[in-house]
Structures are given as structure tokens and as C-alpha cells.
Amino acid sequence: MKKKNRQIIFLDIDGVLQPHGKQDRFSHDLDQLRIDLAAKYNNDEYLQMDKYDLGAIKYDWDKEAVERLRKLCVDVPAEIVISSDWRVFSPLSRLQDYFRLHDLDRFVTGVIEQLPGRNRCEEVTDYLKKNPDIRRFVILDDDSYWKFDQYYPRQFVHTHSIFDEESYKKALRILTKK
């Protein structure tokens, strides 16, 4: 049973949590990372996951952006629905395993459905129609290509390259306005 009056963060990943061009993962042993994660979380699924995705999450995601996202989820409280292209290649359970690396898995509750021939903005609209229990939402995305600024100007936070302090404050205002 879903909660009523949910607050949702539609989350893009690249350009929000993962700065463009950051590739520290390649200076780490990513095979060992999979082994370490499988042991740490007692979950052999990590052994089958793409080591480059795991490396990106562990070493390339901006730690301050991740902490701002956590703070937003806790303070509002809010749930995360993945709108990023990462949803195309990973089911919800895998995305939750990914976010576990930053102790955010409990906040990841859904993904927007990929609809052939429709853009991300239309997919968010479809998600909202199918989930009338959503009270407030914010869209965190670095790309204005999806026209969120036109269709959802009051809910869109254009992160440009990272979920910085200014973006956090705007998202918090959107999700907590009376």
C-alpha cells in the first residue's frame, strides 16, 4: 500500500550526482571492488554487476552532492524515483543495490517507465498520472533538452553539472512550500 501525500525527487544521475568527465574509477581495482561489495553486503549479486558502474558510483559520484541528496530525503522526507537513463539498463532492485553504496537505497522507491517515442518529460507526466498520491515533486536534471523548464518550471531544478548547495536549497523550497 502506497503512502498518501508522497514527496518525490525525480533523479537524473549524470550531471547531478556524477560530474561529467570524472573518471577516478579507472585508478582503482574494480574487480576487487565487486568482491569487497559482495562481502560487505552479503550479496553475491555485486559479483555480476558491471564493475565500471560500481566504480563510477563508488569513486566518481560527488560525495557532497550525495550528502545533499540524503539530507533532502531525510529532511522533507522524500522518496527518489529514478528518471536517469540508468533505469534503462538496470531494474529497480539493481538501482537500489547501487544506491546502497551511499546508504541511499531505502529512499529509492521507483523508476519512471521508459515509453517508446516519448521523452523524459512525458514519462514523468505519465508517472504522475499513474501515482495520484504524490503531493509534491521536484525534478533534478542537468539537461534542459527534456523541456522540464517549460512543462514543470516550478518543480525543475537545473543542476548544470552537479547537485550543489544552490540546487539543494531550491529543491528543498519546492518540496516544503506551504
Going residue by residue through the chain (178 aa), what tens digit of pLDDT does each one get? 456 789 999 999 999 999 988 999 999 999 999 999 999 999 999 999 999 999 999 999 999 999 999 999 999 999 999 999 999 999 999 999 999 999 999 999 999 999 999 999 999 999 999 999 999 999 999 987 778 999 999 999 999 889 999 999 999 999 998 6
Q: Quick check: 18 and 25 in contact, CB under 8 A?
A: no
Q: Given the C-alpha cell 569487497, which residue does it identify?
A: 36
Segment 79-89, tens digit of pLDDT: 999 999 999 99
pLDDT on residue 1:
44
CB 122 within 8 A of CB 129: no
Residue 4 pLDDT: 74
Domain residue limits, the chain:
6-21+62-176, 23-61
User: In terms of C-beta distances under 8 Å and separation of at least 24 residues, what long-range contacts does 28-37 make, across chains too?
Assistant: 28/55, 28/58, 28/59, 30/54, 30/55, 33/58, 37/101
pLDDT score, position 160: 86
CATH 3.40.1350 is the classification of domain 6-21+62-176? no
DSSP-assigned beta bridge partners for residue 139: 10, 156
> Nine-digit cell at 14?
549524470
Number of other residues whose CB lies within 10 A of the CB of residue 143: 15
